[in-house]
Amino acid sequence: MKTKFFLVFAIVLLVTVSMFATLKGKDVADKGVVSDVSGLLSTEGSEWYLNSSGKEMIIHLGPEFYRDEIGLKLEENKNIEITGFVYEDEITPIAVKFDGKEYSFRDQYGRPAWAGRGNRDGNYRQNENNERRGNLHNEGRGNNRNFQNQK
C-alpha cells in the first residue's frame, strides 16, 4: 500500500513540475521558428515578458552580463521589437530593437553572441609560456583551442 501511494505521489509530482517548467533559450532556438514580434515589455522578478496582441511571451535574453556588456537597459511598459526563435509562448531573440537601438543576441543558427569566450568568468589555464589553453571546464574534451594572451 505504501509503495503504491509513493508511486502515485511521484507521478503526480513529476507531471506537476513538468507543467510549470520553462524551456531554456537554447531549447526555444532549437524548436522555434524565426519570427518578428513586437509589443510592450513587462517584468516579474528577473523574467522579462513581451505582451503582443493579448499574448504574453517569455523572453529568453541570455546571461545578464551580456546585456550589461552591450548596454541594453530594458524598461517596463516600453515598446520592443524582437526578431527571434518563437516556440509556443516563448521567444529567444536573434536581434532586439529597443529605445532606438538594435542589439544582437544570436546568429541565424541560434548560436549565442556571448558563446566561445571560455568559461563564464573568462578564466583560462595558462602554461609556463603564459599561453591560455582551453578553459577550466572544457579541458580535455577534444574541442580545445590554444589562445595567446592578448596584452
The answer to whether 82 touches 91, Cβ cutoff 8 Å, is yes
The answer to whether 32 touches 108, Cβ cutoff 8 Å, is no
In percent, how much of the chain has pLDDT > 90? 52
pLDDT at 20: 47
pLDDT at 148: 41
State the pLDDT confidence band at 25, using cuts at 50, 70 and 90. Answer: confident
Is 114 in a helix, a strand, or coil? coil
- Residue ranges of domains in the chain, CATH in brackets: 22-104 (2.40.50.140)
| pLDDT tens profile 73-118 | 999 999 999 999 999 999 999 999 999 999 999 998 999 999 876 5
Strand 55-59 relative to strand 90-98, pairing: parallel
Question: CA–CA separation, 5 vs 57, rounded Å?
Answer: 37
DSSP 8-class letter at 142: S
pLDDT at 87: 95
